[in-house]
Chains A and B, each alone.
Chain A
Amino acid sequence: MTLDDPRQVLGVSPEAGDEEIRAAYLRKVKEYPPDRAPREFEKVRDAYETLRDPRRRTLHLLSADPKQPLVSLLDGRVSERRFTGPNAWLAVLREPKP
Chain B
Amino acid sequence: MSHKSQSRPDGAVQEALIERVSVDVHPKEREKVAQLIAAGKSGPALDFAKDVHKRRRNPSSEALLLDAYGARLASLVERNLDREAQALMDLVRERYPSSGDRLREWQAVIAARHGDLSALLRPLTDPGLPADKQAAVAARVRSDVLDLQALAECRTLAPEHPLRTAAAALHKAFEAVTSGPVADEALALPEVSRHSPLAPWKMLVRAIAAFYRRDDALCEKCLAAVEPGSAAARLTPALGALMHKPLALTPAATALVNQAGGNLDQLRAVLKRLDSALIRRNQPLILQEVRFAVAACGQADPGLLERLKQHISVRAMIAQAKAEKVAAAMDGPALRNAWFWRLLARGFEEDKGEPMAIAQACSAWEEFRKHAVREGWFPAEGPEAATLFLHMADLLHHVSPPNLIGVRVRFERQFDGYAASYRGQPPEIRALMPDRNNRHLYFLSIQEVLERACQADPCAENFQRWLRHTAEASPDSSDLVAERWCAALPNDIPPLLHLMQSAEKRNALQKAFKYMERAEQIDGLNADVRRARLRLLVAMAVRHLREKKPHLAEKELRQMAALPQAQQGDRPAFVAALRWVWCGLQLWPGEATAAHKEAVQILGDGVTAHLLILNVQNWCGLTELELGKPPKPSVPLFAAMGRVCALGDDMGMPVDLSREMPAQLMKELSAPKVSADPRALAALGEAAMRRDDSRLAYAIAGAGLAQGSDNHGRFLFLRSRSLPPWEDQRRSSCLAAASELARRQHDSDLLNRIGEWRDELMDWMDAPEVAQAAIGSEEIARVVQYETAERGFPESRPGSRPGSPFDSEDDGECQCPECCAARGELPDLPPELMELVEQMGPEAVAQALGEMLGIGGKKKRGRRRPYPDLYSDDAPF
Contact = CB atoms under 8 A, between A and B. Distances in A.
Interface of A: 14-15, 17, 54-55, 57-59, 61-71, 73-74, 77-86, 88-98
A98 B626 CA distance: 122
A57 B174 CA distance: 45
Contact of B174 (A15, A66, A86): A86
A64 B179 contact: no
Contact of A54 (B253, B303, B383): B383
B2 to A, nearest CB: 31
Residue among B311, B318, B343, B347 with max Cβ neighbours from chain A (10 Å): B311
Given A55-B386, A81-B242, A89-B238, 16 more contacts: A15-B338, A54-B383, A58-B384, A67-B315, A67-B318, A71-B271, A74-B271, A79-B244, A80-B261, A81-B260, A83-B178, A84-B256, A84-B260, A88-B255, A93-B146, A96-B80
24 contacts: A54-B378, A62-B391, A66-B314, A66-B318, A66-B346, A66-B347, A66-B349, A66-B350, A67-B350, A70-B275, A74-B264, A74-B268, A77-B264, A78-B264, A79-B300, A80-B302, A80-B303, A83-B178, A83-B180, A88-B178, A88-B260, A93-B231, A94-B146, A97-B250
A53 B72 CA distance: 73
B304 interface: yes
A83 B271 CA distance: 26
Contact of B251 (A57, A68, A70, A95): A95
A70 B308 contact: yes
B387 A64 contact: no
Interface stretch (B208-216, B518-526, B753-761): B208-216
A74 B350 CA distance: 24
A57 B385 CA distance: 11
A77 B304 contact: yes
The main secondary structure of chain B at its interface with chain A is helix
Contacts of A63: 346
B382 interface: yes
Interface in B333-351: 338-339, 342-344, 346-347, 349-350
Nearest to B391: A62
Contact of A79 (B79, B256, B261, B391): B261
B375 interface: yes
Given A62-B387, A77-B301, A71 B272 contact: yes
Nearest to A57: B384
A83 B212 CA distance: 8
B519 to A, nearest CB: 28
B437 to A, nearest CB: 30
A79 B301 contact: yes
A7 to B, nearest CB: 12
A70 B311 contact: yes
A12 to B, nearest CB: 12
Contacts of A15: 338, 372, 375-377
Contacts of B242: 79, 81
Interface in B288-312: 293, 300-304, 307-308, 311-312
A64 B377 CA distance: 15
Residue among B259, B264, B342, B343 with max Cβ neighbours from chain A (10 Å): B259
B378 A58 contact: yes
Residue among B208, B231, B377 with max Cβ neighbours from chain A (10 Å): B377
Contacts of A70: 271, 274-275, 278, 293, 308, 311-312, 315
B614 interface: no
Given A65-B346, A71-B268, A92 B303 contact: no
B263 interface: yes
A92 B234 contact: yes
A98 B377 CA distance: 53
B339 A92 contact: no
